[in-house]
A and B are shown apart, each in its own frame.
Chain A
Amino acid sequence: MAEPAIISVRKVNKVFNGGSDRAVTALEDIDLTIGRGEFISLLGPSGCGKSTLLRVMADLTAPTSGTLTVNGKAPGAARADRDYGMVFQQAGLFEWRSVLRNVELPLQVAGAKKEVYRAKAEEMLELVRLREFAGHYPWQLSGGMQQRVAIARALSADPEILFMDEPLGALDEMNRERLQGELLRIWGDVRTTVVFVTHSISEAVFLSSRVVVMSARPGRVAACIDVDLPYPRTAATRTTPEFFEKVKDVRRALHEAPSERAAA
């Protein structure tokens, strides 16, 4: 990581239902530094806290203890300054707003002038290649197209960071692979830092410059694996021996990770 850190996580713990007998440790002693411009995947089995970690970074959930900085600020300040954009598993578009007006929303909230947010939203739709669907309503779009609108919306306020919480999880395999390629193309254009949560090994390897492997109960960072496959990556990348090698490395790291505390 030659680049300076844009996100740093130090000794972060998250306990749900703390103090009660149903307390669950979702994150334990997480230390993680993410460099500017990286494409990081948080990978792990369900229940390993990868989504929780992302939500803590995004200030959607407060950590129980520990410190973190996002773009050099406390997460709350970074959120208020719209330093990051976020894409969720469900597109979550507002069904009463047209595609264009959905993409305008972040800059509207920021108090931008109409001509500014209108122009920016059109530019973003151009970026995700949905310009001609600007006047459509979300229910008229397929799931994959809705997710592309959500990406345009997340990027419309020019954030430094893009948080993505299993954004392709609800799509079928074909759409999924197509959107992975699309996402890399967009990332090549905008060059934000991406933190991407997934439970798919091949998705993590194909997209990321670095894969953070997490283990479950309690959620911990088990391994960090650099993926030095050159960008731009294409469909052909998926069939190279180097790709398979990386997939194997990551899979091994996942399986070597302690799965339950009782076993450790």
Chain B
Amino acid sequence: MEGFGFSVLKERHINYDANDKSIAEYIAEREPSFRTCIECGCCSATCTTGAFTNFSLRELQILLKRGENEIAREQISKCMLCGKCILVCPRGVNTRNVILLAREAFRKLMKNEV
């Protein structure tokens, strides 16, 4: 492609082979609605935590599905579980359980149980 004058920005490179998608699989297995997310961002728009920090559930969904877990792990503890995102979600994703499961998965990952 580069020969034709097209290139991909360096920061947009995603190496799926190197990334670990076990967390996303762990969540999707236990909360199937995780897969139905269309990353519309309604959850981020209404987020209580998002009003104070750069926390974004939409971003988390994308990161987890790509397997870029490091940023997700740092961000995930910021959520206060207030549940507004569930009520605005047009796809009926059980977002609170997604957060709880992600936390559980990270905890288990540290013990190599995932």
Q: Do A and B come from one complex?
A: no
A contact residues vs B (CB 8 Å cutoff): none
